[in-house]
Amino acid sequence: MSKIIISCAVTGSIHTPSMSPHLPVTADEIAESALGAAEAGAAIVHLHARDPVDGRPDQSPEAFEPFLKSIKQASNVVVNLTTGGSPYMSVEERVKPAAMYKPEVASLNMGSMNFGLFPMLKRYKEFKHDWEPAMLEGSHDLVFRNSFKDIRFALETLNETGARYEFECYDTSHLYNLHYFWTEGLVKAPLFIQTCFGLLGGIGPHPEEVLHMKRTADRLFGDNYKWSVLGAGASQMKVAAQAAAMGGHVRVGLEDNLWIGKGRLATSNAEQVTMVRKIIEGLGLEIASPDEAREILSLKGGDQVAF
């Protein structure tokens, strides 16, 4: 088994500021939290930006610049920029930061899907900002669009930057979509496949579902991919533990889960990284450094980015 890559998704666009006082919002908070995660053992930080005033998702390249520079100056960690942005944004808007800053890794959603965030309205009743409940309520009728045309646009825009991709696959069909683009020659091995479990609208987090996605990827891609997992919410550490025991890589972070245990909010991204690192090392496995992650994923190197 090669070493296990820990990715940390620092803030995302799904959770809102009213849900946790520990969710990074400002550029300084995002940088500090990403650096803390890296120090705790994350080889990759997966980054979104937010409006510093009200915390809403902000996919303007200008919103990314301050924390990208701070992270680059202080750490060797691999930077992964989202092209998911928010499911309410167009693909043209979503790819702009990665197109400008040319990161080593960019995330890429591999299919359209229902994106049900509205169950969180049952858990949270008071919000600081009007956009928060409106965003959650709107997901009753939300399809996160990632058509073949959209995916091709993202690939044709970003391939020339030398970035590789975190292919986010929320269901079996997304693996088949990725296989199509691979056979067309638009993406190259080793493919970094992030199978995502537990979001309403995607595949569930049951251990059999995790095995099903792994078996399907094995059948489609053989030795041409590197497997990673994320579990949303309470499934985060369970899914990570299962995958790590199978030699897979793992993703944690406040984008995917605000909690560190039953009834206890995670106080930082580093806290989640520390917990999953203990799981990995408890299995007798080793975590990958940023440079080891670069080698495993065949990344271009931190000196080749535009920030």
Q: How many CA atoms lie within 13 A of 198 on its CB side?
A: 18
CB 192 within 8 A of CB 186: no
Q: What is the pTM of this model?
A: 0.98
Task: Please state, in angstroms and rounded to a whole number, the distance separating the CA atoms of residues 122 and 110.
Answer: 29
In a structure prediction context, what are the per-residue pLDDT tens digits for the chain, which is 307 residues long? 689 999 999 999 999 999 999 999 999 999 999 999 999 999 999 999 999 999 999 999 999 999 999 999 999 999 999 999 999 999 999 999 999 999 999 999 999 999 999 999 999 999 999 999 999 999 999 999 999 999 999 999 999 999 999 999 999 999 999 999 999 999 999 999 999 999 999 999 999 999 999 999 999 999 999 999 999 999 999 999 999 999 999 999 999 999 999 999 999 999 999 999 999 999 999 999 999 999 999 999 999 999 9
